[in-house]
């Protein structure tokens, strides 16, 4: 029998919530160092131009200016996933973000003024802003730093994957649907704008960076490569981070630029983006065209999928170019599938380049896939819920790509949202009209408001993703002589609440009050290795790492407790700062027959054979003091490095890339106003296989935040561009949704208790937004009887679609 969990599964508020809401939290923008200068960056005036000359003489002469740098003043390496991105541009500009020069000055105002004094002569070029133009033979090569191993000079990266016999499955298909979908640029729009503070010490030649990176150890290495330094001479400290969502996975030019300004001046330098700069110069979700052809046999079994994706890489290659790792996973392995052929090509253009963004290509893939599933169901005349349930993934399944579903809540997620949303009474799946509504005005026959419901599900890594040499995380844990615990974890906190969940785990296992637990996670000089915050991995990987460290520590504590209690028992219970021996009454009883959850979590006590006497204990702090201060004088400290059981994928992209897999389904109800084209999302039913709920409050936050991001992706958010320039670099015209737009969210966590996860938990961070746009698109199609082929579904697009559907109406209105 498992002991009841006391902390895990409860709604503990985020540890730094009080600091954040009272304004006491120290963000990068709040850092002020002695003698600090302010850096500013001059960006190109033209997205594509020859840089004929740069004259910085006037700027250098301005009082208060300490340093002006251009590409000619620095000796650095390129950055980026393909090392195709110069920190400062020389000779040509290829993107509206391009950094031409940088200034460090006493004040922000002087720095800005200095930028105005820099004279750059450009020879403007036409530029290439369309991927298909870029692939034409006569197109000039946009990025000159690539090896040229691809068939076309403007291809940055390609991916090819396949499993099964595609031609055979095509023949078996009763219906085949083919569509091309276009996905927009969406930006993270983090509440805290990009920031970095660099402080170079000329005496020891070491560099200290206060940075909002999500991946401090990769950042340290990339920064060292860029600056031609030794990584260990760079110390990265993360202040409180005001939003990441993937945007801080790449290193961006402003960061080494800030370091260079500090190195040149010997003074600390800070660069803070304005909101406009944030919109222009921070990464985006990669725009792409997805051509999907998919088949189904006469019984409704999915047969094959053939996918061709062209991604607009922009001028330089970021981690965003690797999103096909995730995209192909959904196409190959979401729902049972016999054959799949996948091609993705990232193409250079003079547009802004992408980065990684929550979901990592998966919202795009899921949108295309779930839209086509609706179309296949229509062709078959099959219920849209039924076709999904029929093909849903199952526990024990090994997919064509080699993903092992040791636990799988796919069917249960679908079932839950179908039932909870009363999907079938809401919808008549044959013609998309309503069968049952309460309000007269809501019936779909000729009335203004049309209601619809849509379904979508998703698959995502739930136990990290092995894309780097290690997907691991290190932990050091110590308990001090006063019974306080310090967790030094390699993992980072970017707002997701990992520090709280880790403290909860330690509290659960060690019986220490949460107030006595500190989490140290911000300093590369202190903390052990971790690959970073991405792939919904932190609670899973860092959690397992912590539990491993606790297990080692407990062995030490148990031994000392045994000595003090003069007991030879092996099992102990930790609670209220005390250690209780569990006296064994039945020597033959097996102790962990029902341990289904993590191997690393609470030791299993069979209450039939182990008895705890509440007056029989020793205080934890006493045990620690005795360890420290009596022979053999041992520290109450333990280290552990956890590496997930996942494997690298082979050259064909096959293999079990994650420790576990998360599933989710959403059923979304919309009401479309045919007078204005506005789509109102009324209700979202979400079921997500989270493995195990660790903290309902924080989980709810991930769900709500993710969903609103998904609604934005579906309906309103798009970074608009014209010939390489961003047209809406402000919240006024970039329509990020606000709290007032949150629909009714009905959340149903599905617990599958994966043995790999801490307490059975899986990663949850990205999943909530992944199926949202797909389900909304399906709901809009259901409401209007129209097809959605691109995002966002703006009011204007809806009105245009309605107008072309009914020419008679147009004529009436246009007279």
Partner 1 sequence: MEFNIINPVSVKELLGAVKKEKHFRFGAGCTDLLMELRKKPDEGLTVINLAQVKDNSFTGIKKSAKGIRMGAMFTAHQIVMNEELKKTFPVLHDSAHNLASTQIRQVATVGGNLCTASPSGDIACALVALRADCELLNTTQKTRTVNISTFFTGVRQTALKPNEVLYGISIPANHKNTKNNYSGFIKVGTRRSMECSVVSLAYHIQVNVEGKILKAGVAIGASAPTVRLAESACDFLIGKTFKNITQKEKEEFADKVLSYASPITDIRATAWYRKEVLYNISKSIFE
Does residue 796 touch partner 1 according to CB under 8 A? Answer: yes
Return d(Cα 375, Cα 179) in angstroms, integer.
10
Of the candidate spans 80-88, 211-219, 571-579, 729-737, the one that interacts with partner 1 by CB under 8 A turns out to be 729-737
The residue among 110 and 715 lying less far from partner 1, judged by its C-beta, is: 715
The residue among 481 and 795 lying less far from partner 1, judged by its C-beta, is: 795
Does residue 716 touch partner 1 according to CB under 8 A? Answer: yes
Distances 436 to 120, 354, 422, 424, 439 between C-alpha atoms, Å: 66, 44, 10, 9, 9
Tell me whether strands 302-314 and 339-348 are parallel, antiparallel or unpaired: parallel
Contact partners, residue 145, CB within 8 Å, separation at least 6:
78, 82, 83, 84, 85, 86
For partner 1, the binding residue among 297, 480, 741, 790 (CB under 8 A) is: 741
Helices 620-629 and 538-565 cross at an angle (nearest 10°) of: 80
Q: Show the beta-strand stretches assigned E in 202-274.
A: 206-211, 234-237, 269-272
Does residue 727 touch partner 1 according to CB under 8 A? Answer: yes
Task: Tell me the closest approach of the beta carbon of residue 808 to partner 1, in angstroms.
Answer: 13
DSSP label at 754? -
Of the candidate spans 471-479, 566-574, 619-627, 715-723, the one that interacts with partner 1 by CB under 8 A turns out to be 715-723
Task: Give the number of residues in contact with partner 1, rule: CB under 8 A.
Answer: 30
Task: Tell me the closest approach of the beta carbon of residue 725 to partner 1, in angstroms.
Answer: 12
For partner 1, the binding residue among 268, 287, 314, 677 (CB under 8 A) is: 677
Task: Tell me the closest approach of the beta carbon of residue 640 to partner 1, in angstroms.
Answer: 47
Does residue 19 touch partner 1 according to CB under 8 A? Answer: no
Of the candidate spans 507-515, 565-573, 608-616, 712-720, the one that interacts with partner 1 by CB under 8 A turns out to be 712-720
The residue among 542 and 737 lying less far from partner 1, judged by its C-beta, is: 737
Task: Tell me the closest approach of the beta carbon of residue 402 to partner 1, in angstroms.
Answer: 43
For partner 1, the binding residue among 735, 748, 753, 755 (CB under 8 A) is: 735
The residue among 552 and 799 lying less far from partner 1, judged by its C-beta, is: 799
Does residue 795 touch partner 1 according to CB under 8 A? Answer: yes
The residue among 301 and 674 lying less far from partner 1, judged by its C-beta, is: 674
Q: Is 9 left (phi over 0), alpha (psi -120 to 50) or beta?
A: left
Does residue 794 touch partner 1 according to CB under 8 A? Answer: yes
The residue among 7 and 715 lying less far from partner 1, judged by its C-beta, is: 715
The residue among 430 and 796 lying less far from partner 1, judged by its C-beta, is: 796
Q: Using alpha carbons only, what angle is made at residue 671 by residues 667 and 675, rounded to the nearest 5 degrees? A: 155
State the greatest distance between any 2 C-alpha atoms of the chain, in Å, as a whole number: 97
Task: Tell me the closest approach of the beta carbon of residue 773 to partner 1, in angstroms.
Answer: 15
The residue among 149 and 815 lying less far from partner 1, judged by its C-beta, is: 815
* Range 446-475, binding partner 1 (CB under 8 A): 448
Return d(Cα 396, Cα 147) in angstroms, integer.
42
H runs (alpha helix) in 675-794:
696-715, 772-784
Does residue 812 touch partner 1 according to CB under 8 A? Answer: yes
For partner 1, the binding residue among 465, 737, 761, 773 (CB under 8 A) is: 737
Task: Tell me the closest approach of the beta carbon of residue 363 to partner 1, in angstroms.
Answer: 19
Q: Show the beta-strand stretches assigned E in 297-429.
A: 302-314, 339-348
Helix (H) or strand (E) holding 168: helix 166-172
Q: Phi first, then psi: what are they for 7, rounded to 5°? A: -110, -50
For partner 1, the binding residue among 395, 731, 804, 811 (CB under 8 A) is: 731
Q: Which of 161, 137, 123 is nearest to 45 (CA)?
A: 123
CA dihedral 699, 702, 708, 710 (to 10 degrees): -110
For partner 1, the binding residue among 224, 678, 723, 755 (CB under 8 A) is: 678
For partner 1, the binding residue among 19, 435, 720, 805 (CB under 8 A) is: 720
For partner 1, the binding residue among 715, 776, 780, 801 (CB under 8 A) is: 715
Per the DSSP assignment, residues forming a β-bridge with 143 are none
Of the candidate spans 135-143, 350-358, 381-389, 673-681, the one that interacts with partner 1 by CB under 8 A turns out to be 673-681
Of the candidate spans 133-141, 393-401, 470-478, 728-736, the one that interacts with partner 1 by CB under 8 A turns out to be 728-736
The residue among 88 and 715 lying less far from partner 1, judged by its C-beta, is: 715
Task: Tell me the closest approach of the beta carbon of residue 673 to partner 1, in angstroms.
Answer: 9
Task: Tell me the closest approach of the beta carbon of residue 705 to partner 1, in angstroms.
Answer: 17
The residue among 575 and 717 lying less far from partner 1, judged by its C-beta, is: 717
Distances 666 to 336, 454, 690 between C-alpha atoms, Å: 19, 8, 14
For partner 1, the binding residue among 586, 613, 676, 806 (CB under 8 A) is: 676
Residue 632: asked if its preceding bond is cis (omega within 30°), the reply is yes
Of the candidate spans 52-60, 87-95, 757-765, 797-805, the one that interacts with partner 1 by CB under 8 A turns out to be 797-805
Contact partners, residue 130, CB within 8 Å, separation at least 6:
349
Does residue 444 touch partner 1 according to CB under 8 A? Answer: no
Does residue 675 touch partner 1 according to CB under 8 A? Answer: yes
Token pair, residue 500, equals: 């709280």
Task: Tell me the closest approach of the beta carbon of residue 815 to partner 1, in angstroms.
Answer: 7
Does residue 124 touch partner 1 according to CB under 8 A? Answer: no
Length in residues, the chain: 815
Q: Tell me how crowded residue 583 is: count the other CB atoms within 10 A of its CB.
A: 14
Token pair, residue 764, equals: 């949850």
Return d(Cα 149, Cα 522) in angstroms, integer.
40
The residue among 369 and 719 lying less far from partner 1, judged by its C-beta, is: 719
Token pair, residue 162, equals: 């396949």
Contact partners, residue 285, CB within 8 Å, separation at least 6:
183, 184, 185, 186, 187, 320, 354, 357, 359, 363, 364, 713
The residue among 149 and 813 lying less far from partner 1, judged by its C-beta, is: 813
Q: Tell me how crowded residue 655 is: count the other CB atoms within 10 A of its CB.
A: 16
CA dihedral 57, 54, 730, 248 (to 10 degrees): -100
Q: Show the beta-strand stretches assigned E in 297-368.
A: 302-314, 339-348
Task: Tell me the closest approach of the beta carbon of residue 117 to partner 1, in angstroms.
Answer: 16
The residue among 564 and 745 lying less far from partner 1, judged by its C-beta, is: 745
Does residue 442 touch partner 1 according to CB under 8 A? Answer: no
The residue among 354 and 711 lying less far from partner 1, judged by its C-beta, is: 711
Does residue 805 touch partner 1 according to CB under 8 A? Answer: no
Task: Tell me the closest approach of the beta carbon of residue 18 to partner 1, in angstroms.
Answer: 21
Does residue 738 touch partner 1 according to CB under 8 A? Answer: yes
Does residue 439 touch partner 1 according to CB under 8 A? Answer: no
Q: Which of 385, 377, 440, 380 is nearest to 411 (CA)?
A: 385
Does residue 732 touch partner 1 according to CB under 8 A? Answer: yes
* Range 546-605, binding partner 1 (CB under 8 A): none
Q: Which of 423, 401, 465 is nearest to 660 (CA)?
A: 465
Return d(Cα 787, Cα 775) in angstroms, integer.
13
Of the candidate spans 4-12, 157-165, 223-231, 671-679, the one that interacts with partner 1 by CB under 8 A turns out to be 671-679
Of the candidate spans 379-387, 485-493, 553-561, 733-741, the one that interacts with partner 1 by CB under 8 A turns out to be 733-741
DSSP label at 27? B
Q: Is 757 left (phi over 0), alpha (psi -120 to 50) or beta?
A: beta
Task: Tell me the closest approach of the beta carbon of residue 720 to partner 1, in angstroms.
Answer: 6
Binding footprint of partner 1 on the chain (CB under 8 A): 448, 674-678, 715-716, 720, 727-728, 731-733, 735, 737-741, 794-796, 799-800, 803, 812-815
């Amino acid at each position: 029998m498992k002991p009841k969990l006391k902390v895990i599964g409860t709604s503990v508020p985020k540890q730094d919530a009080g600091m954040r809401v009272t304004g006491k939290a120290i963000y990068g923008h709040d850092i002020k160092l002695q003698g600090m200068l302010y850096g500013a960056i001059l960006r190109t005036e033209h997205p594509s131009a020859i840089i004929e000359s740069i004259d910085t003489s006037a700027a250098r002469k301005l009082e208060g200016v300490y340093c002006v740098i251009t590409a000619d003043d620095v000796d650095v390496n390129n950055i980026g996933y393909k090392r195709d991105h110069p920190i400062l541009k020389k000779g040509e500009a290829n993107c509206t973000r391009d950094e031409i020069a940088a200034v460090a000055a006493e004040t922000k105002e002087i720095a800005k003024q200095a930028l105005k004094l820099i004279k750059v002569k450009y020879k403007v070029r036409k530029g290439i802003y369309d991927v298909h133009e870029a692939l034409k033979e006569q197109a000039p090569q946009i990025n000159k730093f690539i090896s040229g191993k691809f068939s076309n000079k403007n291809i940055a990266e390609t991916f090819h994957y396949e499993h099964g016999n595609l031609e055979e499955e095509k023949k078996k298909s009763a219906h085949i649907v083919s569509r091309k979908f276009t996905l927009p640029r969406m930006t993270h729009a983090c509440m805290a704008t990009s920031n970095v503070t660099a402080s170079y010490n000329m005496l020891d030649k070491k560099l200290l960076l206060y940075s909002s990176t999500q991946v401090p150890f990769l950042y340290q290495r990339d920064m060292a490569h860029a600056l031609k330094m030794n990584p260990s001479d760079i110390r990265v400290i993360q202040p409180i981070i005001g939003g990441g969502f993937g945007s801080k996975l790449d290193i961006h030019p402003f960061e080494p630029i800030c370091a260079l300004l500090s190195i040149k001046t010997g003074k600390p330098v800070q660069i803070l983006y304005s909101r406009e700069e944030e919109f222009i110069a921070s990464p985006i979700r990669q725009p792409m065209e997805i051509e999907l052809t998919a088949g189904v046999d006469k019984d409704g079994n999915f047969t094959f999928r053939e996918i061709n994706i062209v991604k607009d890489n922009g001028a330089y290659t970021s981690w965003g170019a690797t999103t096909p790792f995730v995209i192909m996973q959904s196409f190959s392995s979401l729902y049972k599938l016999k054959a799949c052929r996948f091609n993705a090509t990232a193409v250079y253009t003079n547009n802004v380049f992408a980065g990684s963004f929550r979901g990592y290509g998966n919202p795009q893939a899921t949108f295309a896939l779930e839209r086509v599933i609706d179309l296949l169901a229509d062709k078959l005349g099959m219920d849209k819920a039924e076709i999904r349930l029929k093909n849903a993934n199952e526990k024990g399944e090994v997919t064509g790509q080699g993903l092992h579903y040791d636990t799988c809540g796919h069917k249960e997620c679908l079932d839950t949202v179908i039932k909870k949303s009363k999907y079938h009474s809401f919808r008549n799946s044959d013609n998309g009209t309503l069968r049952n509504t309460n309000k007269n005005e809501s019936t779909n026959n000729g009335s203004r408001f049309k209601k619809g419901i849509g379904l979508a599900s998703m698959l995502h890594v739930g136990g990290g993703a092995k894309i780097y040499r290690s997907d691991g995380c290190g932990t050091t844990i110590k308990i001090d002589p006063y019974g306080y615990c310090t967790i030094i974890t390699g993992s980072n906190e970017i707002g997701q609440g990992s520090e709280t969940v880790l403290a909860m785990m330690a509290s659960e296992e060690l019986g220490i009050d949460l107030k006595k637990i500190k989490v140290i996670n911000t300093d590369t000089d202190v903390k052990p290795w971790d690959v970073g915050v991405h792939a919904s991995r932190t609670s899973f990987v860092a959690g397992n790492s912590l539990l491993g460290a606790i297990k080692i520590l407990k062995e030490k504590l148990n031994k000392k407790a045994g000595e003090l209690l003069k007991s030879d028992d092996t099992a102990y219970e930790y609670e209220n700062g005390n250690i209780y021996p569990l006296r064994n009454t039945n020597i033959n009883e097996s102790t962990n027959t029902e341990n289904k959850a993590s191997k690393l979590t609470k030791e299993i006590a069979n209450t039939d054979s182990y008895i705890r006497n509440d007056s029989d204990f020793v205080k934890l702090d006493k045990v620690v003091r005795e360890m420290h201060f009596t022979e053999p004088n041992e520290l109450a400290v333990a280290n552990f490095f956890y590496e997930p059981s996942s494997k690298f994928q082979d050259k064909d992209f096959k293999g079990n890339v994650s420790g576990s897999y998360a599933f989710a389904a959403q059923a979304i109800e919309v009401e479309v106003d045919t007078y204005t084209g506005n789509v109102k999302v009324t209700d979202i039913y979400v079921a997500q296989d989270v493995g195990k709920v660790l903290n309902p409050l924080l989980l709810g936050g991930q769900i709500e935040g993710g969903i609103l991001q998904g609604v934005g992706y579906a309906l309103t958010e798009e970074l608009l561009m014209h010939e390489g320039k961003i047209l809406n670099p402000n919240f006024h015209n970039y329509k990020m949704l606000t709290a007032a737009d949150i629909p009714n969210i009905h959340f149903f966590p599905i617990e599958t208790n994966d043995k790999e996860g801490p307490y059975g938990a899986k990663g949850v961070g990205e999943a909530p937004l992944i199926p949202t746009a797909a389900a909304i698109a399906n709901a809009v199609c259901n409401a209007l009887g129209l097809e959605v082929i691109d995002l966002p579904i703006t009011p204007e697009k809806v009105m245009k679609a309605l107008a072309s559907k009914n020419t008679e109406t147009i004529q009436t209105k246009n007279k």
